[in-house]
Structure 1
């Protein structure tokens, strides 16, 4: 084909985007990354407005593309022709499109986030996402990695959540300054879910697992950002392995919940995590209502995102391993000592790693009064109270979180 013919073909495709959409699926299949897919078996339905659904099935390290919608796919992606072509050609990535409301997802959010990592990047892609699997003492940890910078940043999710709860921060930080790793902690998301025996799912065990992730990926030290329980794990990592942590940022970070200490003796004598192995029935409306309670102003998040998150939670709750991990971590947090020589607050005062804490005035899970406790324990820490925020600032105020965290990381790096 001559240069003139090629230009004419491109112009005709622009005039008929649906024709270009049809050929885009063929180009996508040609870029399938067999090694990246590994042993994954998953079915995606991509519904492009005006084109109708197309099924993309990944089986036995092969990619099959067929017209029509598969029955009960693992993830359903819906978008318009222009956005789909931007995704295929690498002009935008799926995370950015989802957060901007250009891509609607139903079903397994983690699989949907992994979708584009199953294919070789398009030439000139603005940003490349990678799915990484890391074996830490027999437990496989899945993460999404983005960014080409030489400053590593780890994102640790909260109790019951997964790496997708940090998509806005991943989207905001990943670039030429930072290499960002969003992890599924053991027991959650797509990571392994070992039985809750011994010290598994204690905050110390979780911190050691994250430390193992750093070692296996040859990351000498990193900035660690955690939401809720993830903030507690990040703090524990700094206390147990201070040389591996450049700084800690806690977003609605879990602490020692002193008001629950009367329950600690009961939790030590019982094993409620094994009761969680029994099937659990929840209504979708209850789950969506619970997700809205995490925000001061639920209207800041599009309704489609609540539906997507609720579907993801419902899928997770079908897994008894996830339910036991959830109960085990909750038990560990509830048993945390708030007083005494080995208590959380006493140990926290010995933390020599720079820390930055953000609390939400309207956080219904982590009482905002703990901000003063942190200031007392760590006089050198940076502590902020956001009066227009709930429990998940990274979703309620994503741009503000990105700006503040970027400034914090830059200040720490400048002082190294």
Structure 2
């Protein structure tokens, strides 16, 4: 198995990505706010990378990707989903599993609302909330550290707090630099858009999904309300809402020995079901 890196230019940003040489159905992994594609290193360093074409990219304003050319348009859930769609199209991906973590999960849900390539959805640390403040309050814990997700300028203390919030004491030394590099305009833009109710109603998208949806969270996630996931009326929930024992907000990083087998088993389910599913029509992009 080999991993290659390349940069793809889209209308909103130049996106840096890594992909494995696996020949199975692509698994596109979308990281959270203040992170980068490096957070998925423990999936690339696993049998998943041989069995599937793993693709991880840096969102605009993150990692090795450029900042957005038009921040007002790009730094929203809808804008990030449209940029992701451009990436899929540039890579000629017609069928894929989309795995979204935290912010990346919300981008993945938005993407699934309009792009035909989504054959399966994996959500981690990303409650599919209804539009507006009430939906946000139902899906997320209300605490002071949540304010960091919308703060435009970070102090060094903010960077330390956000790192601990996302990774506890498991962070790689590079993760703090990824937080420091992030374009803070994205945090404020995404938060404003979600509270204003812009974009798809994510609860409805997940409840009506015509493809399998996997929910895999950490037992001690400080950000999301695990009980909220049980209130969603999924049409196609895979197995159950899985909870990784002893993990926090990033179980795929903290407990890959438990997370990766679930992702692999889900991918097998999607591959089996996708052949029998009628093609979906692209409604926007």
Q: Please, which of 213, 216, 223 is the counterpart of residue 355 of structure 1?
A: 213
1:234 Cα deviation (Å)?
Answer: 1.1
Aligned to 1:336: 197
1:235 match: secondary structure = helix
Task: List aligned pairs for 1:9-48, cutoff 5 A.
Answer: none
1:231 match: secondary structure = helix
Contact in 1 for aligned 2:150/2:190 (Cα 8 Å): no
Unpaired runs of at least 5, structure 2? 138-148, 276-285
1:236 Cα deviation (Å)?
Answer: 1.4
Q: Please, which of 174, 177, 183 is the counterpart of residue 311 of structure 1?
A: 177
- Using the alignment, how far apart are the partners of 2:227 and 2:6 within structure 1? 38
- Using the alignment, how far apart are the partners of 2:69 and 2:9 within structure 1? 17
Aligned to 1:161: 35
Aligned to 2:165: 293
Is 1:194 matched with 2:68?
Answer: yes
Aligned to 1:8: none
Q: Please, which of 259, 268, 279 is the counterpart of residue 410 of structure 1?
A: 268
Aligned to 2:280: none
1:134 Cα deviation (Å)?
Answer: 1.1
Q: Which has the higher contact order (CA 8 A, sep 6+)?
A: 2
Unpaired runs of at least 5, structure 1? 1-126, 265-272
Contact in 1 for aligned 2:120/2:270 (Cα 8 Å): yes
1:389 match: secondary structure = coil
TM-score, structure 1 length as denominator? 0.56
- Using the alignment, how far apart are the partners of 2:154 and 2:262 within structure 1? 39
1:358 match: secondary structure = strand
TM-score, structure 2 length as denominator? 0.80
Aligned to 2:187: 326
1:361 Cα deviation (Å)?
Answer: 3.2
Q: Please, which of 110, 120, 133 is the counterpart of residue 247 of structure 1?
A: 120
1:244 Cα deviation (Å)?
Answer: 0.6
Is 1:210 matched with 2:210?
Answer: no
1:180 Cα deviation (Å)?
Answer: 0.8
1:387 Cα deviation (Å)?
Answer: 4.4
- Using the alignment, how far apart are the partners of 1:412 and 1:197 within structure 2? 35
Is 1:130 matched with 2:4?
Answer: yes
Q: Which protein has the larger Cα radius of gyration, Structure 1 or Structure 2?
A: 1
2:107 match: secondary structure = helix
Is 1:395 matched with 2:253?
Answer: yes
1:225 match: secondary structure = strand
Aligned to 1:185: 59
1:359 Cα deviation (Å)?
Answer: 2.5
1:131 match: secondary structure = strand
Aligned to 1:219: 93
The number of residue pairs the alignment matches comes to 261
